[in-house]
A and B are shown apart, each in its own frame.
Chain A
Amino acid sequence: MRRLTVLLAFAGGFFAVGALLRRTTGRGRERVDLYYADGSMKTLADGSVDAARLLGLAREAIHAARA
């Protein structure tokens, strides 16, 4: 029983570190960066309505390219 607890704790720690690394390195995140003629840039972070719409279209483009 103790061995199982240690094993589960180890596995939990492993996934927690993995999730933290993913978050800090930005891998797996979704966002849209828009660049305008005047040099300005706007980031639409995942979670906003606009980002969700554009990310849906981006996924469609990726699927069209890989089909």
Chain B
Amino acid sequence: MSRTLTYREAVREAMVEEMERDPNVFLIGEEVAQYNGAYKVSEGMLDKFGPQRVIDAPIVETGFTGLGVGAAMVGLRPIVEFMTWNFSFVAFDQIVSSAAKMRLMSGGQINVPITFRGPAGAAHMLAAQHSHAPESLYAHFPGLKVVVPATPADAKGLLKTAIRDDDPVLVMESEVMYSVIKGEVPDGEHLVPIGKADVKREGKDVTIVTYGKAVHTCLAAAKKLAAEGIEAEIVDLRSIRPMDSETVIASVVKTNRCVVVHEAWELCGVGAEVAARVQRDAFDHLDAPIERVSGRDVPMAYANSLEKVCIPDAARVIEAVKKVLYLS
């Protein structure tokens, strides 16, 4: 059995279930308690768990992130919420120098079972500084795991797995998806493994590799393509590090064509990594060069009209698909 949840409800359920399951789990972040969360993700959690476990932090990311890493080092399982991932840059050193390195540099004596989570990517007219999609940036660092769920079921299942993971996991959500994206979430214990991609739509003509919010853009594009007789297979990576090559390669071997779609910029982006792996492992199966559809290579525009141009839309996905099919 399953229920329909919004993305927001799914994230909340994951935290609540894990906090009920393990007293070492706590939530810390800006406005997570009294205000019920900047985006109401933690609504009701203060009432349920009290101020010891749902903690309002001052507006000092480097401070409360460091606090979280320290707590994790002594055995707690913190969930550090960034109001948005844009603010994580203030705490960058805590994440990449402390959390990511501690296990190695302590010779395996100290692990850091921490979860960093919050929305990433463009929402709507939040301008250049508040529209970052930093998944490839963080995925670059060995010692960190990065997941970008696209559906309520994946958001719940991946976040629960992240909280139980003994190493730092970064979960990137989306303001846009919190309310708009609804979906079936299985009842009972629902865990999604980190590092396993998911085929969100089967097709034989082209493989579209994507993740996060862009999955929905690609599904919309696939629907239009189907009307033209083109069946796109959509592989949702779900996890950027570790990355599941196997599912991607199996799909490309089937379709012979590959398009990678993400909101983040192209240079050194996830698409570059996917393309490198596909050309290495499926070289003899490619009928066309791999195409990438990504955010325009500029700081995000504030103007509504220009923001739309920056973010990949279904039309651009369709264009790329037709290119690899030699139809354009």
The answer to whether A and B come from one shared complex is no
Interface of B with A (CB < 8 Å)?
none
Interface of A with B (CB < 8 Å)?
none
